[in-house]
Amino acid sequence: MYFLSIISVSFFLIVASEAKVLNKNANTCEEILGPLVDEIRSYEDVKDKILNYVLNGDFKRKTYDELAIFVDKFGARPSGTQVLEDSIDYMIELSRKEGLEDITTEEVVVPRWERGEEKLTMVEPRIKNMVILGLGRSVSTPPEGITAEVVVVKSFDELENTPDENIKGKIVLYDPIFTTYGETVAVRSQGASKASAKGAVASLVRSVTQFSINSPHTGSQNYADGVIKIPTAAISLEDADLIRRLYDRGEKIVLNLQMSSTYDDTKVSRNTLVDLKGSQNPEKLVIVSGHIDSWDVGQGAMDDGGGLFISWAAPVILKRLNLTPKRTLRAIFWTAEELGLIGAYAYKEAHKEELNNINFIMESDEGTFAPLGLYVSGNTRTRCIAQEVLKLFKSINASTLIEQDGAGSDIAVFTGNGIPGASLYNDNEKYFWFHHTEGDTMNVEDPDELDLGAAFWTAVSYIIADLSEDMA
């Protein structure tokens, strides 16, 4: 997952602030939608058919088992690697085995950043080895590394208010306390450039997470134009707290940072499109999606193997149940999400003349824990339709609608430009414990929760794709 905008603390603020909006809509949606409300309610039986098939029938544990085979076979799938391309071929063949023949791949030029040796040592006030993970696209240090004193700041404002002479030639450690991912991640994505502009020789960031077992979290960062590119890495909460305590006591802290990496931005990958053609309006699309690439650490089981597989499951389940919606249901497996939504931008450019055919676009890239509902982006009519659809899922506690402009990560490329869409809202309070770490493995996934996610994702997308009226 490249970025998020809603999680943890801000979620509760949204619920509190959006509840009034949803209640207001609840009083007017029947008037806005008219007979469509009854039409949506008529999908109760087909919703139950899908849920029963996945939760109790032949598809039970299928999503988990297929994800486990995939993850065990390929492991991490970084952008620009052969293992990513092999995993794409695998998903194509897996889809064909399920009788889905309308499969297209679209080439995308993607970056390849490859991590080399990384080492961080505190040399003053005592010797201590620290664990680090370089951030995406980070440049290397000289072979002997960079040895420099540390300056600790909590925010960009504190950095800006620190005189340049106190930053020049030093390593900046950003030490913000996690609030939400959307707020805190800025120090990771922009920190190196802002530190370099003040004369720093390297930057470090306290991992963007609430919890750590001495586990650093990697992620993408971007160098601004016109600044010297300096090495940048994440450190664990434990080491960040240690440095902060020493710093607050007035001790001089000196670190030696050694990092190597290579970067190439001309590799070729592919977006994968799997279509279940619509019976009446095949040109119109309801899209379900997840990204197939991952970081090089962990196995990409949670980010975003789960989202990939519930999106793969949607057309498969419908095909098995002989349920063909009026509009085409398209599953997209985005490539190269982690280094900057590369696949999504490429799709938007390749299909710019057809974007108005997207009736609704959905993405799961925030975990596939127990589904609770949807984050929805769109106008009042869109949100009313989504709200009525979600009422069908009270039995599995997945009927919550949270209004969010520009929902999703990859799909924010589309929802931020007026196309209606939604991302999965799920019980993911521990998501950032494992996000972008070696801990992103199958151990984080739960078979029953994946079944719930696949059933919910399939049923919601089917209903929206089959309704007599468009979402917007």
Spatial contact of 178 and 184, defined as CB atoms under 8 Å apart: yes
Asked if omega into 163 is within 30° of 0 (cis), the reply is no
Q: Backbone dihedral region of 378: left (phi > 0), alpha (psi from -120 to 50 degrees) or beta?
A: left
Q: Which helix (H) or strand (E) segment is 147 a member of?
A: strand 146-153
Distances (CA, A) of 412 to 116, 269, 302, 333, 428: 32, 21, 20, 15, 20
Indicate which residue of 66, 124, 238, 337 is catalytic: 337
Q: Are strands 146-153 and 171-174 parallel, antiparallel or unpaired?
A: parallel
Question: Residue 30, class by beta-carbon neighbours within 10 Å (0-12 exposed, 13-18 middle, 19+ buried)?
Answer: middle
Residues in the chain: 472
Using alpha carbons only, what angle is made at residue 134 by residues 132 and 138, rounded to the nearest 5 degrees?
155
CA distance 259 to 291: 28
Which residues, including other chains, have CB under 8 Å from residue 349's CB and lie 6 or more apart?
Answer: none
Radius of gyration of the chain (CA): 23
Distances (CA, A) of 200 to 82, 229, 250: 36, 10, 20
CA distance 72 to 61: 16
CA distance 186 to 156: 9
Which residues, including other chains, have CB under 8 Å from residue 458's CB and lie 6 or more apart?
Answer: 50, 54, 310, 313, 314, 317, 318
Query: For 68-88, b where at least 16 C-beta lie within 10 A, e where not — what string?
Result: bebbeebbbbbbbbebbbebb
The 8-class DSSP code of residue 136 comes to B
Is 149 one of the catalytic residues?
Answer: no
Using alpha carbons only, what angle is made at residue 97 by residues 461 and 350, rounded to the nearest 5 degrees?
55
Handedness of CA 142, 148, 150, 155 (dihedral sign): negative
Which residues, including other chains, have CB under 8 Å from residue 449's CB and lie 6 or more apart?
Answer: 368, 369, 370, 426, 427
Residues known to be catalytic? 337
